Chain A
Amino acid sequence: MTDPVLSVRNLRVEFPTRRGTLTAVDDVSFDIMPGEVLGVVGESGAGKSMTGNAVIGLLEPPGRIAGGEILLQGQRIDHLPYEAMRRIRGKRIGMVFQDPLTSLDPLYRVGEQLVETILTHSKMSETQARARALELLNEVGIPAAKARIDAYPHQFSGGMRQRVVLALALAARPELVIADEPTTALDVSVQAQIIALIKRLCAQYGVAVMLITHDMGVIAETADRVAVMYAGRIAEIGPVRNVVKSPYHPYTQGLMGAIPKLDSEADRLTQIPGAMPRLNAIPRGCAFNPRCAHVFDRCRAERPELIPLERSAAACWLYDKASQPAETAS
């Protein structure tokens, strides 16, 4: 068994505010193995981006890591000094964000931005770096890369820009790539291209990927394992096939039913009543209990931990042998 590239243990992210401390990420643990794609899904406010930001040390103040550990190849990277973290970002952890226009500098040619990144992280001459930049652009499928290397970001379309961002993320051959909603701003046809590209490149280089998105379709196609987040916690984690096809947690079940499907004739979509709680009003016990169809007394009082179930794990009292309601979720 190889060691995980990224290991997050009991991570807790807090936001101290004037009206009390808000917990955005609460007791989140997961591992990502080399070459593995871990999908992190959840609706807005679930804490998925916050988890990603905590890993790369880019939490917006006053947000801070209040507990737990983050290990990159077994080495702790939470609470590293700013300079040390800066050397890890980009070199050992690559990043891809939602909006490619904001992650590229509009005033510099894409070639210059790539060369700058390459030179920051590896020792080589400018000519070598430029050759490497060209190689990267070819790799991410920019047509006529030789001619396009001196173009500005605004001269690229959305899909092409995201390809450039991907080239930047992979420039220093990182061990881990954190992709936060990389395809959300793109049209479906282009989205398919970018997803195929991410999968191919990461398999090729054995890079571990943390793919953060709200889109179950993207996860189903790309991820090996999935963590479903709800109100700052992991509700369910497991292999993609298990989570998508036979989810355990009532929230995951509701989420899967709520997605309109191309081949379904259903008249109504399954709907989960209510909305995700705000951070300052997370219910006692299981955070999902006010919206859950299977709720019973214990859910209102006690917060469930992740309970191992065959190949998955779900944080739901329905699966705890100690609490024996007759109900079973299908």
Chain B
Amino acid sequence: MSTEPLVTVENLGRIYDVSKPWLNRVVERAPIQLLTAAAGVTFSIARTETFALVGESGSGKSTVAKMVVGLVPPSSGEVTIDGISMTHRRRSSERERLRRRIQMIFQAPYASLNPRWRVENIIAEPLRAFSVAQNADEQHKRVGELLRLVGLDPADGVKYPHEFSGGQRQRIAIARALSAQPEFIVCDEPTSALDVSVQAQILNLMRDLQRQFGLTYLFISHNLAVVRHMATRIGVMYLGRLVEVSPARELFRAPRHPYTRMLLDAVPDLDLTERGRKAVEGEIPNPITPPPGCAFHPRCPYAFERCRVERPVLLPSAPASVACHAVEEGRIKPGAGVLEGAVTP
């Protein structure tokens, strides 16, 4: 493993203004309302690694993904890819060259492909945009190779997206992402819209391609089992903040943060081990008015006075890092994860 991480995210934050329109604010004396979608997010991704962000809806994982690729400007913090700042005002020419090396795969393969373009054009767009292919012949040849690479027929290039099933469309999206020969791909819930048997095909394909081209993934998902299968390291998000960052195995073997434990307990049990799913109290609070202190404290069985007033920061708890007062003070030990606790059938 190389020493220098490919992607470094530091103290990344995004605040949205969700206030009512100006006139309403004046008439109704309504205050300005700010929604903190992400705050203080710090992590790094090594080359050829898969870093996954997990969390429930509203945890800010997609916002972080969009900020990493530069689709959403961050309100604070910095993203550095291969030593080049994505957020710095200057050095935009360097950033332009960097763009080719970053691609994205989205959740909905219906919305992410232009229905009025032939598949050939969809896949060739990055080739044109980054002037990868010299002429039309080479472009055509390259598109054929890419289609074959993702398990489709080169003859499919003349078809339109609606002629394909969801899984095939996601293959097209992957071919498009690969066409500019990127090193880093951000995948935002790439299989959430797919059926399980198709999901397995796409996940296997993504792993094969990673090995073949030495790709680095930032993988966003709400599905812990999918993340378990794909990731080398995992960051768990809750209400816009990272609560635990851990090597994948460690997270499932010994989850530390109470929220991580809750998430693991909530995963349906397919082995019928009578582990039983623990129903968790409560839901994610409104991000406009997050609870003070640790955002998780209203739902946390281990919450005490300090959690209600002081926000915990990510502290190393080797080999993971955890943002939890109870873990810091040693009041709770790393939990028994699904790996140890699981009864082998």
Contacts and interface: CB of A to CB of B under 8 A. Distances in A.
Nearest to B193: A44
Interface of A: 43-44, 157-160, 187-193, 195-196, 214-218, 220-221, 240-241, 244-245, 254-264, 266-273, 275-276
Contacts of B166: 44
Contacts of A270: 200
B243 to A, nearest CB: 14
B270 A187 contact: no
B268 A275 contact: no
Contacts of B76: none
Given A192-B266, A195-B277, A259 B57 contact: no
Interface residues of B, number: 45
Contact of A259 (B225, B266, B277, B279): B225
B204 A193 contact: no
Given A192-B277, A196-B279, A262-B224, A187 B56 contact: yes
A179 B174 CA distance: 35
Interface in B242-295: 252, 262-272, 277-280, 283-284
B197 A271 contact: yes
6 contacts: A43-B197, A44-B166, A189-B262, A259-B196, A264-B229, A268-B204
B272 A193 contact: no
A271 B57 contact: no
Interface string B228-249: 1100000000000000000000
- If over half of B's interface residues share one DSSP class (helix, strand or loop), that class is named, otherwise mixed; here it is helix
B263 A275 contact: no
Given A189-B280, A262-B225, A263-B252, A217 B267 contact: yes
Contacts, number: 131
A34 B185 CA distance: 51
A39 to B, nearest CB: 12
Given A193-B279, A262-B267, 17 more contacts: A43-B198, A188-B56, A188-B266, A189-B266, A192-B279, A214-B195, A218-B268, A241-B272, A255-B197, A258-B196, A262-B225, A263-B252, A263-B339, A264-B228, A269-B200, A271-B200, A271-B201
B268 A193 contact: no
B345 A192 contact: no
A233 B278 CA distance: 34
Interface of B: 56-57, 165-168, 195-201, 203-204, 207, 222-226, 228-229, 252, 262-272, 277-280, 283-284, 338-339, 342, 345
Contact of A188 (B207, B267, B270, B338): B267
A272 B266 contact: no
Contacts of B270: 216-217, 220, 244, 256, 259, 261
A155 to B, nearest CB: 11
Given A43-B197, A193-B280, A221-B277, A260 B262 contact: no
Contact of A255 (B196, B262, B283): B196
Given A187-B57, A189-B283, A221-B269, A258 B277 contact: no
A272 B226 CA distance: 17
A191 B266 contact: yes
Contacts of A159: 283
A245 B272 contact: yes
Which residue, B167, B269, B270, has most C-beta atoms of chain A within 10 A? B270
Nearest to A214: B195
Given A44-B195, A275-B168, A268 B222 contact: no
A245 B201 CA distance: 22
Contact of A275 (B165, B222, B339): B165
Nearest to A221: B268
B267 A157 contact: no
A252 to B, nearest CB: 11
A189 B263 contact: yes
A272 B204 CA distance: 11
A44 B278 CA distance: 29
Contact of A263 (B195, B268, B278, B338): B338
Which residue, A44, A217, A256, A260, has most C-beta atoms of chain B within 10 A? A260
Contacts of A190: 283
Which residue, B197, B200, B271, B342, has most C-beta atoms of chain A within 10 A? B197
A218 B57 CA distance: 19
Which residue, B195, B196, B207, B270, has most C-beta atoms of chain A within 10 A? B196
A255 B197 CA distance: 6
